[in-house]
A and B are shown apart, each in its own frame.
Chain A
Amino acid sequence: GAVVSQHPSWVICKSGTSVKIECRSLDFQATTMFWYRQFPKQSLMLMATSNEGSKATYEQGVEKDKFLINHASLTLSTLTVTSAHPEDSSFYICSVTRLVRGETQYFGPGTRLLVL
């Protein structure tokens, strides 16, 4: 069964609105969750690392005020794209891990965002 879920699976919104994407760890308590962005025909780019109860760590070039991450519990992290613009249209994927040595990341099914 699925280890990680994302909701919604796809969303269309108007430019200037905010969109919230949820990532849930279904099988275990995830100490760390990662958020990735993938543009068409490209690879995954890490946006931020999210640890429960602390502020997310953003990768260089990712605006923390635009991509708000809340890791409120060990099973839920949310990514909010604020004031979305067409260039934010992308495939957003989360992953979860327990940070045990050698523990792998388990990826969600992704959320496709289209900003009109």
Chain B
Amino acid sequence: TQLLEQSPQFLSIQEGENLTVYCNSSSVFSSLQWYRQEPGEGPVLLVTVVTGGEVKKLKRLTFQFGDARKDSSLHITAAQTGDTGLYLCAGTYTGTASKLTFGTGTRLQVTL
């Protein structure tokens, strides 16, 4: 059974600070996705990465996929209060089609 570990589990920072969230697996991903989830809502897709070493940017968010496709990171620059939420990585593995395995989650709180 694949296990996706995210770190840190919880992060409380002030607006304007930078942060990085990590996602690690013991197995190689076919693809990896990052989601943000607000309380009482379903997760919303932020990005999908499929190629080892890939870097994608979405405004202040930078996503990196490890060369070996077993880890990923999400970096947020100059965090804003609107970035508050639960960040989830989720991966697919070879032979499992679209089945997603979610990470343990990182709860981010950004305060003024």
Contact = CB atoms under 8 A, between A and B. Distances in A.
Interface string B99-110: 111111101000
Interface of A: 4, 32, 34, 36, 41-46, 49, 60, 91, 93, 95, 97, 99, 102-110, 112
A102 B44 CA distance: 17
18 contacts: A4-B42, A34-B98, A36-B102, A44-B90, A44-B102, A45-B102, A46-B100, A46-B102, A99-B98, A103-B98, A104-B33, A105-B100, A107-B43, A108-B42, A109-B41, A109-B42, A110-B40, A110-B42
A32 B97 CA distance: 10
B45 interface: yes
Contacts of A34: 98-100
Interface residues of B, number: 24
Contacts of B45: 104-107
B44 to A, nearest CB: 7
A74 to B, nearest CB: 15
B33 A44 contact: no
Interface in B1-50: 1, 31, 33, 35, 40-45, 48, 50
A89 to B, nearest CB: 14
Nearest to B103: A43
A113 B48 CA distance: 30
Given A104-B33, A109-B41, A112-B40, A97 B102 contact: no
Given A43-B88, A102-B50, A104-B33, A110 B98 contact: no
